[in-house]
Amino acid sequence: MVKFKAVKSKLKNYIAFSLIPQILIVRYLHSKPGWIEEYYSLGIYPYISSALRTLYGWVPFSVGDLLYTATGLVAMGYLIRNRHEIRYNLAGLAKDIFFVLSVAYFSFHLLWGLNYHRVPLAERLELKDMVTNEEVITYTRELIAITNEQQLSLTGDSLQRVHVPYTKNEIRQLTLQGYRDLARGMDFVHYAPASIKTSLYSKMLSYMGYGGYLNPFTNEGQVNRLLPAFRAPIVYGHEIGHQLGYSAENETNFIGYLVTLHNNDPYLTYAANAYALGYCLAHLRRTDPDLSRSLYQDLNPGVQKNYEEMDEFWRSYENPTEPVFKAIFNSYLHANKQKDGILSYNRVVSLIIAYQRKEVH
pLDDT tens, 119-151?
A: 999 888 888 777 888 999 999 999 999 999 999
What pLDDT, on the 0 to 100 scale, is given for residue 337? 58
Q: CA 33, CA 79: separation in Å to the nearest integer?
A: 40
pLDDT averaged over every residue in the chain:
89
What mean pLDDT is predicted for residues 12-27? 92
Structural domain boundaries in the chain: 2-117, 122-360
Residue 209 φ/ψ region, left for φ over 0, alpha for ψ in the -120 to 50 degree band, beta for the rest = left
What pLDDT, on the 0 to 100 scale, is given for residue 331? 65
**What is the CB neighbour count within 10 angstroms for residue 79?**
11
What pLDDT, on the 0 to 100 scale, is given for residue 4? 56
pLDDT class of 341 with cuts at 50, 70, 90:
very low
What mean pLDDT is predicted for residues 148-172? 96
Q: Which helix (H) or strand (E) holds 213?
A: strand 212-215
What pLDDT, on the 0 to 100 scale, is given for residue 325? 60
> Largest Cα–Cα distance in the chain?
79
Predicted TM-score of the model (pTM): 0.91
- Of 168, 36, 17, give the one whose Cα is nearest residue 96: 17
What pLDDT, on the 0 to 100 scale, is given for residue 298? 96
Q: Tell me the C-alpha to C-alpha distance, in Å, between residue 294 and each of 287, 288, 298, 312.
A: 13, 10, 7, 22
